[in-house]
Amino acid sequence: MENGTTNIHIIGGGNLGVSLAIGISKFSAGSKITVTRRNIQQIKYLENLNIRVSSDNLLEIDKADIIFLTIKPYQVDTVLNEILPHISNKTIVSAVTGLSVDLLEQKTNYLHSIVRIMPSIAAQFGESATCISFSEGSHDASQKVAALFDLLGTALIIEEKLMDAATIMASCGTAYALRYIRAAMQAGIEIGFDSKTALAIASQTVKGAARMTLDEKIHPEQLIDRVTTPKGCTIVGLNEMEHQGFSSSLIKGIKTSFDKIKEI
């Protein structure tokens, strides 16, 4: 850290890397961010947000306080072979699915603090539920990483054996929630709204429901009780959804994703 500035180097400026870069630039004022990928044309616009982009993974990497790996698993060895000779005693934060803390420590010769994260692209909007694991030797580094992700939503320290489950719940979960919004929007159009208005209502309604469970920390069913009038239209709709397998299909979908991640 120099002059209170945290130098952040994000290797892999794709979907997740860009979301993290924008989120950090918005919510962590003291950060100086560099994002790298081989084809930088698609991320040149980040320069307007004061984020440096480069195709050179080594660009001032020796000055980085935190190095993020937001690349695909099969790209890890190439990137490590390239950067390891040029860095010492860094905090390396990996979002690479399936890459354990133990294996990354081995690959980096136990010379760096290793923190494993599972964020979502909602980090860009300060709304990621980021799960974090680390080994005891990286405790101090992990606290700094957790503090950073608290600014980008919520940071939850979990046992590493739950990382696959976290991937399904927090990362794939974004897609499940979006599919709910799409379905609600389609129904909204059928009952009279134009698509733009239906999307606005469906999205804000999900945001409102999530806000209530987050703020009040109570079981969703207690909040459902507050909006269901006896013999009313909410309860008949809810019960019909359950007759059609709403909760069951969601649970089965999540378990199918979980079975799949273990094969990858």
Ligand X SMILES: NC(=O)c1ccc[n+]([C@@H]2O[C@H](COP(=O)([O-])OP(=O)(O)OC[C@H]3O[C@@H](n4cnc5c(N)ncnc54)[C@H](OP(=O)(O)O)[C@@H]3O)[C@@H](O)[C@H]2O)c1
* Footprint of ligand X (CB under 6 A): 11-17, 36-39, 57, 70-73, 75, 78-79, 95-97, 118-121, 171
Nearer to ligand X, 121 or 198 (CB): 121
> Computed over its alpha carbons, how large is the radius of gyration of the chain?
21
Closest distance of CB 38 from ligand X, Å: 3
Nearer to ligand X, 25 or 57 (CB): 57
Nearer to ligand X, 32 or 116 (CB): 116
Angstrom distances, CA of residue 187 to CA of 42, 203, 221: 35, 13, 23
Closest distance of CB 123 from ligand X, Å: 9
**9 Cβ contact partners less than 8 Å away, ≥ 6 residues apart:** 33, 34, 36, 60, 61, 64, 66, 67, 68
Asked if 71 contacts 96 with a C-beta cutoff of 8 angstroms, the reply is yes
Closest distance of CB 122 from ligand X, Å: 9
Nearer to ligand X, 9 or 198 (CB): 9
Nearer to ligand X, 38 or 260 (CB): 38
Instruction: Return the beta strands (E) in 153-249 as ranges.
Output: 153-157
Asked if 30 contacts 89 with a C-beta cutoff of 8 angstroms, the reply is no
Nearer to ligand X, 168 or 185 (CB): 168
By CB neighbour count within 10 A (0-12 exposed, 13-18 middle, 19+ buried), where does 251 fall?
A: exposed
Closest distance of CB 149 from ligand X, Å: 12
φ and ψ of 77, to 5 deg: -60, -40
Closest distance of CB 231 from ligand X, Å: 43
Nearer to ligand X, 23 or 188 (CB): 23
Give residue number: closest CB to ligand X: 14
Residue type, 50: N
φ and ψ of 122, to 5 deg: -70, -5
Tokens found for residue 51: 């984020």
**172 Cβ contact partners less than 8 Å away, ≥ 6 residues apart:** 254, 257
